[in-house]
Amino acid sequence: MRPMKNNKYKHMKKNICFIVSSPYSFFFLKVHLEKLSKYYHIHLVANINDTNSLILDNFEHKSFKNIPIQRSINMTKDIHGIYKLYKYFKSNSFDAIHSLTPKAGLTAAIAGKLAGVGIRVHIFTGQVWATKKGAFRYLLKKLDQVIANWSTHILVDGNSQRDFLISEKILKVNQGQVLGAGSICGVDLNRFAPNVIKRSELRKQLNISDDWVVFLFIGRITEDKGVIELAKAFNKLRLENKNAYLLVAGFDEGALEAMKEIIKDKAFFNFVGKTDTPEMYYQSCDVFCLPSYREGFGMSVIEASACGIPVICSDAYGLLDTIMDNETGLRHKVKNVNDLYDKMKLLANDKNLRSTLGAQGLKYTRHNFSSEDISNAWVEFYKNLV
């Protein structure tokens, strides 16, 4: 009788390690990680401390490792982080490592190559240096080139960003893969959806009249997001349209006071601070604005579109994938106040156009950016890889 083959190891799960600087970044990957954990053992590495450790409770069935990966550049600490990560890789037989965010990407690419990890994946989600100049821009670009050269597989969360990275000689023409239609995590279509009841409730709560046209910005309140141009364009619009209202949500990174100084009619401007329920604000507004100088992709744009809201955004490279100009939203030139004002004026005065763009944006987002579809693309990527 022929002895049976031992299939003990045939169905053993392989090990994938994800590396970030801050554990908050794992929220972008939460749905992907849950799906991948059905097929692989998932290990998570981050700079974990007392202030951010509680968020790890949101991730079940994962192995966590604290490695001091600093977001800022510090040669001594960076070398220490690379060494610690190298030792961790050497003591574990990871089938693949996957980094997100620049410093984690640099640390993981170097440590992974030195440790002999065969599959080293990095995903580019935006470039800080895109709006910088001089030596700092040169240095940051060189660091991204190291990531690209020392990784075995490169993902990019948008096609226009991939084109930009190739044009800037960060990637070679045969490098960089976009999963699905793009975006790092897609949109939860159950959470981000039109809701007339919530729209009515929040507008009532904020004392916003039904006939006012609400322009919304959600994001970091910083000059790079184009909020100064937004304030100037809105101020100009208020001179001729007394129904225009500006609602701003997000974390202030130093530009809020400048916005307040620019906007003359304070009664029609409302800053509500940071929010954990952005969908409520999308659902209650009439137009979403993102006049950003740079974006890796522009998640807030597709979130707004999923709620049936028309979008006005800049023509920064990362936003080119998020709307179809004059079909799902309107584009304006980066840093151009008059162009932004013209687009805001057009939508403020044309309710039918707002409805048409919003409906087409909803259809476009549901077809291209479902979080379910993006997660499935991640699973297929790894099934073909390890």
Confidence of residue 50 (pLDDT cuts 50, 70, 90): low
Confidence of residue 11 (pLDDT cuts 50, 70, 90): low
Residues in the chain: 386
* Mean pLDDT within 270-298: 96
Residue 22: the pLDDT is 87
* Domains by residue range for the chain, with CATH: 14-186+371-383 (3.40.50.2000), 196-368 (3.40.50.2000)
Residue 9: the pLDDT is 44
Residue 27: the pLDDT is 84
At residue 41, what are phi and psi to the nearest 5 degrees?
A: -80, 125
Quote the CA–CA distance of 366 and 140 in Å, as a whole number. Answer: 35
Residue 32: the pLDDT is 92
Is 79's pLDDT higher than 90? Answer: yes
Residue 53: the pLDDT is 59
Are 66 and 84 in contact by the 8 Å Cβ rule? The answer is no
Query: Which burial class, exposed, middle or buried, applies to 9 when counting CB atoms under 10 A from its CB (0-12, 13-18, 19+)?
Result: exposed
**Ramachandran sector of residue 211 (left: φ over 0; alpha: ψ -120 to 50; beta: rest):** alpha
Quote the CA–CA distance of 293 and 225 in Å, as a whole number. Answer: 6
Say if strands 120-124 and 153-156 run parallel, antiparallel, or are unpaired.
Answer: parallel
Quote the CA–CA distance of 123 and 184 in Å, as a whole number. Answer: 9
Poorest-confidence range of 43-52, 287-296, 340-349?
A: 43-52
Name which residue leads in pLDDT, 286 or 60: 286
Residue 371: the pLDDT is 95
Query: Which burial class, exposed, middle or buried, applies to 3 when counting CB atoms under 10 A from its CB (0-12, 13-18, 19+)?
Result: exposed
Q: Look at the alpha carbons of 247, 276, 290, 222 in this order and tell me if their dihedral is positive or negative.
A: positive
Is 213's pLDDT higher than 90? Answer: yes
Could you tell me the maximum CA-CA distance found in the chain, to the nearest angstrom? Answer: 92
Residue 71: the pLDDT is 79
Looking at every residue in the chain, the average pLDDT score rounds to 93
At residue 27, what are phi and psi to the nearest 5 degrees?
A: -60, -30
Say if strands 287-290 and 40-46 run parallel, antiparallel, or are unpaired.
Answer: unpaired
Quote the CA–CA distance of 238 and 289 in Å, as a whole number. Answer: 16
The tokens for 164 are: 């930009």
* Mean pLDDT within 238-245: 96
SS (HEC) of the chain = CCCCCCCCCCCCCEEEEEECCCHHHHHHHHHHHHHHCCCEEEEEEECCCCCCHHHHHHCCCCEEEECCCCCCCCHHHHHHHHHHHHHHHHCCCCCEEEEECHHHHHHHHHHHHHHCCCCEEEEECCCHHHHCCHHHHHHHHHHHHHHHHHCCEEEECCHHHHHHHHHCCCCCCCCCECCCCCCCCCECCCCCCCCHHHHHHHHHHCCCCCCCEEEEEECCECHHHCHHHHHHHHHHHHCCCCCEEEEEECCECCCHHHHHHHCCCHHHEEEEECCCCHHHHHHHCCEEEECCCCCCCCHHHHHHHHCCCCEEEECCHHHCCCCCECCCEEEECCCCHHHHHHHHHHHHCCHHHHHHHHHHHHHHHHHHCEHHHHHHHHHHHHHCCC
CB half-sphere exposure, 53, CA atoms < 13 A: 7
Quote the CA–CA distance of 141 and 138 in Å, as a whole number. Answer: 5
Q: Look at the alpha carbons of 17, 23, 29, 35 in this order and tell me if their dihedral is positive or negative.
A: positive
Sole residue written with tokens 């807030």: 300
**Gyration radius from the chain CA atoms:** 23
Is 63's pLDDT higher than 90? Answer: no
Is 5's pLDDT higher than 50? Answer: no
